[in-house]
Chains A and B, each alone.
Chain A
Amino acid sequence: MRRAVEPQFGWEGVRAVMAATFFGEVVRAPCRAGTEDEEEEEEEGRRETPEDGEVRQQLARKREVRLLRRQTKTTLDVSLLEKYPCSKFIIAIGNNAVAFLSSFIMNSGVWEEVGCAKLWNEWCRTVDTTHLSPTEAFCVFYHLKSNPSVVLCQCSCYVAEDQQYQWLEKVFGSCPRKNMQVTILTCRHVTDYKTSESTSSLHTPFLKALKTQNFREPPCCSLLEQPNIVHDLPAAVLSYCQVWKISAILYLCYTDVMKLDLITVEAFKPVLSSRSLKSLVKNIPQSTEILKKLMTTNEIQSNIYT
C-alpha cells in the first residue's frame, strides 16, 4: 500500500491508496484512513493565512453591535441596564409593535432617550457602516423622565443570529438584575402559525403569549401552543430571561399584513391591561388619533394591489 502525499481530485481528507481487489488487481482507490503524517499535511493546508485572519476581523468589526448615546456620541462602557437599572423593561421589535408603543405608551409622558444600538448586517439598507447617521439609529432606548425605572426599547431593525448575543450582552450585561419585569411585543406572519384547526377559521390578527417560568401574572391572551416556536431577537431575549430567571413575557401578534397596518397595531390593545403597561397608558382616544396619523404618513402609495 502506498500512501499518497497530495490530495487526489481535490478531495480534502481523502487520500488515494493502492488497494488490492478480490481478483488480485491492484487499483487506486480513495481511502479516508489517515495517519499522523497526513494529518500534519492537512493542517498546513488549512492553517489560516494572515489575510484570512484580517478579513475575519474586519467582518467582525463591521457586524459589531455598538451601543452609544446619540447626544454625546460616546459609546457606553457598561451595559445599558447596568447604567440605567430598571424595574420594567418593555421591548418592541418590528414596525407594528414599534407603532403600538409610539402611539399608546410614548404619548403618556416625557420619555428621554438614553441610548441607541447601531449595527449592520445584510438586511440593512445602508451601505456605509462606519458613519451611520443619527437618523438611522435602529434600536432606541428611552426611559420615563418621571419614573426612570421604566425603560422602553424600540427596535425596528433585524438583528442577525450572530449579533443577538452581542446585543443581549450590551443591553442586559453579563449579570442582570433579577427583580425586573420584561415585556416583549412583536409580530409574525400568520402563515408561520401551525395549528390543527382549519386556517380559514383563524381571525387574524390575533395575539399569543409566551412567558418565562418566573412570570407569575396571568397573561392578557392565550399562550402559544406547540409546535409553534418564536424566532430571532424576541426568542433570544426570552431565552436569556429564562436562563437568568428574570420574569418576562412575550406577546406575539400573528397577522397577515407585515407592513405597518392599523388593524395589526390595534390587535396589541389587550396588552394595555397588563400590570406593567396599565400605569403607563393615559389617553386612549388621543393615542388612536396619533396612530391614524402615523399610518397615513407611512402609507407607501403602492399601486400594485387595488
Chain B
Amino acid sequence: MASQYDRAITVFSPDGHLLQVEYAQEAVKKGSTVVGIRGADIVVLGVEKKSVAKLQDERIVRKICALDDHVCMAFAGLTADARVVINRARVECQSHKLTVEDPVTVEYITRFIATLKQKYTQSNGRRPFGISALIVGFDNDGIPRLYQTDPSGTYHAWKANAIGRSAKTVREFLEKNYTEDAIANDSEAIKLAIRALLEVVQSGGKNIELAIIGRKQPLKV
C-alpha cells in the first residue's frame, strides 16, 4: 500500500516510486499557470497572476523573478520554497561572477537549482522543494534558452512548456500551435504565449503578467 512508503523521503516504494517527490509534484499543480516560450530572438515567460485580497499589497506577490541581468525564472508551487531557491540562485549567480569573472550560463544556474532540489530528495528529515521552475535567458553566445526543473531535481531544455495548474491543457495547445512561423518574430512569440495562457486563465487578460528577454536586451516585465 502506498501509505506505508510515503512518510519518509529516503524510502523507495516497492514499485520504485519516491512518493514524497510525486506528492511534491502535486503541490506544484496547485500553483497558477506559467508558460514559457523560446523564440528565435526572444524568450517569453507568461504567468497567471493570482488575485490578491483587497488589503494586500499587490507588488509583493511576484511569480517572475530575475536571477541575474540576463536570466529570469518563474515558478509554480509553494511560495516559501520558491523564495529560498531564488535567494540561493541569486547568490550563486553573483558568486560565480566574482570567482570566474563571467556571468552564469542559463544551463549552469539551472543545473545548480536542480542539484539543490535533488539534494533535498536524498536527505533524511527534509522534504523536497514543492516548486517547478521555468528558467529563461540568453547566454553570451546569443542563443535563447528555456529550461524546466521539477521537485525531483531533473531539468530539461524545452522549446515551449507550461507548469502549474492546467499545465497539460496549455502544453497541448503549445504542441499544436508552436511552429517555426509562430516564433519567427518577437511579437508572434509573445502572442503565442498570451494565447496559450488565455486557454486556461479564467478572468481574462488583466490577470496575465509577461516577462520578455531579448538578445542583448534587459528583462522587461
Contacts and interface: CB of A to CB of B under 8 A. Distances in A.
A78 interface: no
Given A262-B202, A306-B79, 17 more contacts: A203-B168, A256-B26, A256-B29, A296-B51, A301-B52, A301-B53, A303-B79, A304-B78, A305-B27, A305-B31, A305-B77, A305-B78, A306-B61, A306-B63, A306-B75, A306-B76, A306-B77
B121 interface: no
A129 to B, nearest CB: 32
Given A256-B26, A256-B29, A262-B202, A303 B61 contact: yes
6 contacts: A257-B30, A296-B51, A301-B56, A303-B61, A304-B78, A306-B76
Interface of B: 26-27, 29-32, 50-53, 56, 61, 63, 75-80, 82, 168, 202
Interface string A268-306: 000000000000000000000000000010010101111
Contacts of B30: 257, 305
B32 A306 contact: yes
B31 A306 contact: yes
A206 to B, nearest CB: 13
A15 to B, nearest CB: 37
A282 to B, nearest CB: 24
Contacts of B29: 256
Ranked 6 nearest A-B pairs via Cβ: A301-B53, A305-B30, A306-B79, A305-B31, A306-B63, A306-B31
Interface of A: 203, 256-257, 262, 296, 299, 301, 303-306
Contact of B79 (A262, A296, A304): A304
Contact of A305 (B51, B79, B202): B79
Nearest to B23: A191
A305 B52 CA distance: 12
Nearest to B2: A191
B190 to A, nearest CB: 23
A261 to B, nearest CB: 10
Nearest to A262: B202
Contacts of A256: 26, 29
B50 A306 contact: yes
Contacts of B31: 305-306
Contacts of B63: 306
A257 B79 CA distance: 18
B137 to A, nearest CB: 21
Nearest to B83: A306
A296 B207 CA distance: 14
Contacts of A301: 52-53, 56
A195 B192 CA distance: 36
